[in-house]
Amino acid sequence: MRFSGRVAVVTGAGSGIGQATSVLLADEGAVVVGSDINAAGLEKTTAMVDEGSVFQPVESDVRSRDACHDLVASVVADHGRLDVLCNIAGVARGHRVGEVDQEVWDLIFGVNVEGVFWMSQAALPHLESSNGCIVNMASNAGLMGQAYTVPYCASKGAVIQITKAMAMETMKAGVRINAIAPGGVETNLAASFGFPDGPDMELMGRYMGMRGMAQADDIASAVAYLASDEAHRIHGAVLSIDAGLTAG
């Protein structure tokens, strides 16, 4: 019960890593407010938490600054505090550079970058008051170049720099801000990623990994660790969980 008495907001709570994180934090005692645009996914998450655990689903779109600020304000009004923000909502698409259009670019950056920033902007004053923390979901794609994923790589690189820059700006405050950079994880996001027709597998080989894909629960455990008091000395870090993919 590492999170007993604490209030957490998890974005992307309707599937994958966000769903697994919501269930874990709730079952470890947190009041979890989970946001997603996927109402059916949120219903599934609600059914997954243990009896007596608290998960409150909220339909919200992290691409909207107003929606992010309204969500945080509602949580604080209802519960009087905010201790943990997990920015996990994300989208991924595969395209050749010349095939990326404005809609794809705006979608990827809207969810992966703007959502992280707007949620963090709204939450930071409350997290500073509670000596709370932010855990952002980056990716190995933010640490290494990958063919056919330029917008996604760029967005996850931005998440890493948002994490580090916010960590520097809050160095004198009590809040902690970190990120996790997973490799491949068996989630709906990975299953729906999609590559352009006729990809050059030789180009893709070096970032496919040799130890298989992780499960959402593997990453959720790391999120919970970074959000817990056990990680009280970790600030401004990017934790790679990629089975050695980016080691060399």
Catalytic residues: 152
CA distance 77 to 80: 6
CA distance 155 to 108: 7
**Hey, which residues does 81 pair with through a beta bridge?**
none
Q: Residue 95: which of 194, 184, 191 has the closest Cα?
A: 194
Q: Residue 144: which of 130, 158, 125, 157 has the closest Cα?
A: 157
C-alpha 94: how far from chain center: 19
* 3-67-45-79 Cα dihedral, nearest 10 degrees: 40
C-alpha 84: how far from chain center: 12
What is the residue type of 190? Answer: A
- 3-class SS of residue 247: coil
- Residue 119's alpha-carbon distances to 17, 35, 194, 217, in angstroms, are 18, 11, 28, 23
Residue where the block lists tokens 């080691």: 247
